[in-house]
Chains A and B, each alone.
Chain A
Amino acid sequence: MALLQISEPGMSPDPHQHRLAVGIDLGTTNSLVATVRNGVAETLPDEKGRHLMPSVVHYPDQGPPQVGQEARGYSALDPLNTLSSVKRLMGRGVGDLKTVAGHIPYDFVPGDGGVPRIRTRQGDVTPVEVSGEILKALRARAEASLGGDLEGAVITVPAYFDDAQRQATKDAARLAGLNVYRLLNEPTAAAIAYGLDKGQEGVIAVFDLGGGTFDVSILRLNKGVFEVLATGGDSALGGDDFDRAIAGWMMQEAGIEGDTGHHRMRQIMMDACAVKEALSERDEARLKVAVSDSDYWSGCITCEQMNCLIDPLINKTLAACRRAMRDAKVKPEEILDVVMVGGSTRVPRVRERVGEFFGRTPRLDIDPDKVVAVGAALQADILAGNKPGDDMLLLDVIPLSLGIETMGGLVEHIIPRNTTIPVSRAQEFTTFKDGQNAMALHVVQGERDLVDHNRSLARFTLSGIPAMVAGAARVRVTYQVDADGLLSVDAREMVSGVRSSIEVKPSYGLTDNEIETMLTDSRSHAQEDMLARRLREQQVEADRVLEALDSALGADSELLSQEELKDIRKAREQLVTAREGDDHEAIARAIKGLEKASEDFVAKRMNQSVRKAMSGHRVEEFE
């Protein structure tokens, strides 16, 4: 066999030069690890031949935590010490827990702010640590099966993951002792697996519907370059919601009240999931639902009935597809192929509607469970340097706009969503008051106009600005997003050179629900936002005018007659009153009124300052 070993062109013939690298799909329900061996990317099974590892960690009485199938066995027996679905908590703060509490019934340690901690018999653990245990188990599986230490890994994250969630994932990898080459968006990973396998060129859409999340990415594939044109999603939508809709129908038909016990509810949800799976293969399914301990309801549900129940949910995914295509400036007919990823794309109605929407039959020829891990392994192999000369290149985007808080609680976007990364953008701001020597900066992520409706990522202050008149300082704020989608911010006062910068490393991040709400809200609240924005703008303008007037009156009120002073004071009072109200037009009118009343005053001050400037000079000098 050794004599037949021929190395590929450009590849080192020395086997020791081959670096062991893996791709990891760290999922909500299941995780996988894959690698490239002998030029083929494949997922790695455990010693019993199982490829999927349930993303579950059990903390036993004694000994180290158990992970995967073994841990899942304890879900019912020892629920408070058996943790699953922690991916939903990554990058979240304690304040975010209520939005996921329904899904995750753990014993949270009460505390204020910061990272949530879950109480187990082995002590309090954070979601990052639990994910770290899963990654450790995957690493051990890979090292056992590859026979050596791992050099590095590519770990996939949902495309909609924000800065905090990405950072938390990277931290978990560090806990597991993994060197992270790169965080890779899940749909992009799927596109790599598909693109390299099929050798297609052109625009493709990746439709990724999992158990609890939905991502869509539009990519252009060309000569080994994978360029993400746009990405979008609905982070609170997945197969679980299909089950919930079917369960709701079953309860209605069987006459079961909504407040039936937890145990019965869980049984109904499992029945609903079984119905969904049965109807993927047949046109009709029979049902037997326990109404009480002794009483059963029997019935039947057709494919058509189920489709009516899940269609509204599928509509939402298609709305996200439409937006992603608009952001990508691509029309449905330009899309060459639609690649289906995630277990929930097995539902025939999903395939049918997606096919109708894009006008072509979606591709299902790559295992939707494994495709993400396989794509990550292919990227890891290249980043490890095992394929010199390979020109594969990934150009990804940021999923949500990055902005900064400006006067009046408004957001100014510095980097809009779907901008190609890495990217660096700068914006200049100035001081608002005379002698202002510090500026507070607030970094936010999201699509809405008002700060309060977006996710706060970090706050920091640039201090030590030398005293200058309002508007003279020039503060340049630079946002830099690296290839992993992680942000760092730098602020610099350009006149004095005073500088301050931070790695944005927040203690919590956006919830899936919040991102979803933010995206939906940015549309449904467009009108409301516009009014709010106009009001804030006028309020800021009013403050500016008042401040300027007061400072001018303080300095030069002797230029005015009593009568003139009275008029200006009256107009000033009117503006102060309007400023307190919520009618932006009234404020605008009052500003105009005050400007009119102080016209003469402004002219007099102007003349005076010209005279002052000219005193001691001869007129000829100015000619």
Chain B
Amino acid sequence: MDLDFSRNYFELFGLPQRFRVDQQALMSAYRELQSALHPDRFAHSDDQARRLAVQGASHVNEAYATLKDDGLRARYLLGLKGAGVDVEKESAHDPQFLLEQMELREALEEVDQAADPLAALDALSSDIETRYTQMLDAFEAAFEANDLEAARQEVLKLRFFDRLREEVARISERLEDQLLG
């Protein structure tokens, strides 16, 4: 099976190029592609065919990982519109938002002092998830309205939430380890 690397990830899986993705349809399209492309299907082929299979399957895995994740998908969509975000060089500037981020960070740092740190962390984590979802909704509204600059600003904010979520995961692992001794 030949894979057209020039098609974008949405075309690859036969999905409409929108922010909301039918996860079920994505998964089954992914499996169909991997069933045809995976190197295990080429156990008896020559080296060249096997190398191509590794490349093809890698490409499909990358496409799937991108479309499966809300934040990565949002960034990818902007890139397709020629409004890509360079996360190394750009950042969110909205002072209200940055203040909110600082407060969330402080709250995370104070989790240890709570009577039940894990419960406090869980509460904070679900607060963060709610805000994250709101941010995604705001992105979608801006993107669908073709207001790419507003959509870019939301994506830059998502980066802050990615870091917060990583921090939540780090702290919960640490707290669990403390509990387990």
Contacts and interface: CB of A to CB of B under 8 A. Distances in A.
A526 B170 contact: yes
A385 B39 contact: no
A424 B64 CA distance: 13
A104 interface: no
A482 interface: yes
A424 B58 contact: yes
Contact of B34 (A315, A318, A384, A395): A395
A322 interface: yes
Contact of B169 (A312, A326, A382, A425): A326
B174 A384 contact: no
Interface string B38-80: 1110011000000000110111011011000000000000000
A182 B176 contact: no
A75 interface: no
B159 interface: no
Interface string A523-545: 11010000000000000000000
B38 A483 contact: yes
Contact of B39 (A312, A382, A483): A483
A222 B61 CA distance: 17
Interface residues of A, number: 36
A307 interface: no
Nearest to A483: B39
B134 interface: no
Contacts of A312: 181
Interface in B136-181: 169-170, 172-174, 176-177, 180-181
A431 interface: no
A386 to B, nearest CB: 11
Interface of A: 152, 181-182, 222-223, 225, 312, 315-316, 318-319, 322-323, 326, 382-385, 391, 393-395, 419-425, 480, 482-483, 520, 523-524, 526
B57 A483 contact: yes
A223 B27 CA distance: 12
Contacts of A391: 35
Given A395-B34, A420-B65, A523-B177, 4 more contacts: A393-B38, A394-B40, A419-B65, A422-B39
Interface of B: 31, 34-35, 38-40, 43-44, 54-55, 57-59, 61-62, 64-65, 169-170, 172-174, 176-177, 180-181
B180 A318 contact: yes
Contact of B54 (A316, A422, A524): A422
Given A315-B180, A393-B31, A326 B172 contact: yes
Contact of B177 (A223, A319, A480, A482): A319
Contacts of B58: 422-424, 480
A520 B176 CA distance: 12
A483 B176 contact: no
B62 A424 contact: yes
B54 A383 contact: no
Contacts of A480: 54, 58
B70 to A, nearest CB: 12
Instruction: List 3 tightest A-B contacts by C-beta distance, closest first.
Output: A424-B58, A383-B43, A315-B180
Nearest to A222: B31
A483 B34 CA distance: 12
A520 B178 CA distance: 12
A523 B170 contact: yes
A483 B174 contact: no
A106 to B, nearest CB: 35
Contact of B176 (A152, A322, A423): A322
B112 to A, nearest CB: 11
A482 B39 contact: yes
27 contacts: A223-B31, A225-B31, A225-B34, A315-B181, A319-B177, A319-B180, A322-B176, A326-B172, A326-B173, A384-B43, A393-B34, A393-B35, A394-B40, A395-B38, A420-B65, A421-B61, A422-B54, A422-B58, A423-B62, A424-B59, A424-B62, A425-B62, A483-B38, A483-B39, A483-B57, A523-B177, A526-B174
A424 B43 contact: no
A5 B25 CA distance: 41
